[in-house]
Structure 1
Amino acid sequence: MGIFREVKVRAGQIAWPVIGMSVVVYFAYHAVQGDRGLLALGKLRGEVDTLQAEVLDVRNARFELDAKVTMLRVATLDPDLLEERARLLLGYGHDDELVVILRPNDTSATALAAYKR
């Protein structure tokens, strides 16, 4: 009976440290690999950088459009821009101009050469 008692005492001495280490390993694993862990943080930071670049692109496009709108206001009307927009929207052209209509996706050299005469 002495051996069983010795095994029971040794198991009791080892059990708590093993449980403690298991808990530490569990939380350490999830701190790195979990949904809110270090790897997820790196991925989110990459997405934030990508979206910030996209926001800058959209802001630049907005400022360009805002500048065009400003030029089309009555107080600051730019005649060249007005003529360009009117021709584009209404399809007008002068008698001495040649209008070339290309399909939107067909900008190849053969398509362009076909319209040169």
Structure 2
Amino acid sequence: MSTRQKKIRNTGRLVVPLFAIAFISYFGFHSINGDRGLNATQRFEVRKAELEARLSALTEERKLLQQRVKLLPSSGPVVRDMLDEQARETLNLSRPNEIVIYDFN
């Protein structure tokens, strides 16, 4: 009579812990470096602060321009060409089909 003895392997005991470590490592890495991770959140906060500073600067510039517009004469005719010229010069705008020639005299 012969008996077979079962050989005990250690690899079966390592499968579940290895999957758990891989799972935790994958999600841990992406929670820090992913699109919505901690590093991305810090970059977002820096960008948000920059844009808020720019918004406040543009808001102040707009208030100054509104004050200058209020100083224009409200009674009597305003020369439309003069108003258009001043607005374009102040805002640095022109139409696509125009040629702008600056005279620095």
TM-score band, normalised by shorter chain:
0.5 to 0.7
Cα-Cα RMSD: 2.5
Normalised to the residue count of structure 1, the TM-score between the two structures is: 0.58
Equivalent residue number for residue 15 of structure 1? 15
How many Å separate the matches in 1 of 2:64 and 2:21? 60
How many Å separate the matches in 1 of 2:34 and 2:73? 55
Alpha-carbon offset, residue 22 of structure 1: 0.8
Equivalent residue number for residue 106 of structure 1? none
Normalised to the residue count of structure 2, the TM-score between the two structures is: 0.64
Alpha-carbon offset, residue 32 of structure 1: 0.5
Alpha-carbon offset, residue 102 of structure 1: 3.5
Equivalent residue number for residue 5 of structure 1? 7
User: Partner amino acid for 2:104?
Assistant: L
Q: Map of 1:1-117 to 2, 5 A cutoff?
A: 5-7=7-9, 10-74=10-74, 102=104
Alpha-carbon offset, residue 36 of structure 1: 1.2
Alpha-carbon offset, residue 20 of structure 1: 0.6
How many Å separate the matches in 2 of 1:102 and 1:58? 27
Q: Structure 2: which 5+ residue stretches go unaligned?
A: 76-81, 87-102
Alpha-carbon offset, residue 72 of structure 1: 1.1
Q: Classify the secondary structure of the residue corresponding to 2:8.
A: helix
Moved over 2 A (4+): none
Q: Classify the secondary structure of the residue corresponding to 2:74.
A: coil
Q: Classify the secondary structure of the residue corresponding to 1:5.
A: coil
